[in-house]
A and B are shown apart, each in its own frame.
Chain A
């Protein structure tokens, strides 16, 4: 049983650590706020394009710009190729990343129609390891509100979106499952995957 004196010594030993804890908590809060600001700005830009005038095809260049600025597309592409990234040749990597950029924009352009009248509200933002998770609620006319979390890499210096989690389903995990399963059914041939992606982009125009 520690006596009072021992407790006092223990508390005195803890005291110098307190400002450090307080300071790092404040720094974390600042980073989380920065990540939230980044998501709000990006979201505002996206909503402006989606609800703005013009056809989906005419919106494509603006949308591409926003995505290239805000999303770490190369990083997401690498993630989605999973263990095959390490065995891909430099040439394959280049073609794959190139196509991934186009597939991403094509998929988003294809969904523009459904998002007419979209708006969003910011939720809380928290740090997880070296990423930040920013919660939002996305509302579309005639649809129940959806919880969408944005995962931000490097939130302190150069924030980029690396994942979008809608109602618990992660976009990049789903994409990776898709590619991994396709590769498993096609002799693990990266070239076949690249050709399939090429076809996808061509079909969408």
Chain B
């Protein structure tokens, strides 16, 4: 189920971007170099975004609050 969904998603994404691809092929003198440059710049910005993401995270060894779970500890519950 998961994999078929992934496949559909990929096809959907591909269909969405076909116009863009056609556009680049039309407007670029060297489409390969243009795609290469676009990919590298996009990847670089993804990495930079990840580096700049300074959200506080809980260390893995710390008790993780589950969804809807009562995290406050009281000895009477045990």
Contacts and interface: CB of A to CB of B under 8 A. Distances in A.
Contact of A173 (B19, B32, B41): B41
Nearest to A107: B27
A109 to B, nearest CB: 11
Pick the most buried of B19, B23, B29, B44: most chain A CB atoms within 10 A of its CB: B29
B11 interface: no
A186 to B, nearest CB: 9
Contact of B29 (A110, A170, A179): A179
Nearest to A106: B27
B34 A178 contact: yes
B58 to A, nearest CB: 28
A175 to B, nearest CB: 8
The size class of the interface chain B forms with chain A is 20 to 34
A169 B42 contact: yes
Contacts of B27: 107, 110, 200
Contacts of B49: 168
Nearest to B20: A114
A174 B48 CA distance: 18
A111 B37 contact: no
Contacts of B29: 178-179, 182, 193, 196-197, 200
Interface of A: 107, 110-111, 114, 167-170, 173-174, 177-182, 185, 193, 196-197, 200
Given A182-B29, A196-B29, 15 more contacts: A167-B42, A167-B45, A168-B48, A168-B49, A169-B42, A169-B45, A173-B37, A174-B37, A174-B41, A177-B34, A178-B34, A178-B37, A180-B33, A182-B33, A197-B29
Interface of B: 19, 23, 26-30, 32-34, 36-38, 41-42, 44-46, 48-49
21 contacts: A110-B26, A111-B23, A168-B41, A168-B46, A168-B48, A169-B37, A170-B41, A173-B37, A173-B41, A174-B34, A174-B37, A177-B34, A177-B36, A178-B28, A178-B33, A178-B34, A179-B29, A180-B33, A181-B33, A182-B33, A200-B27
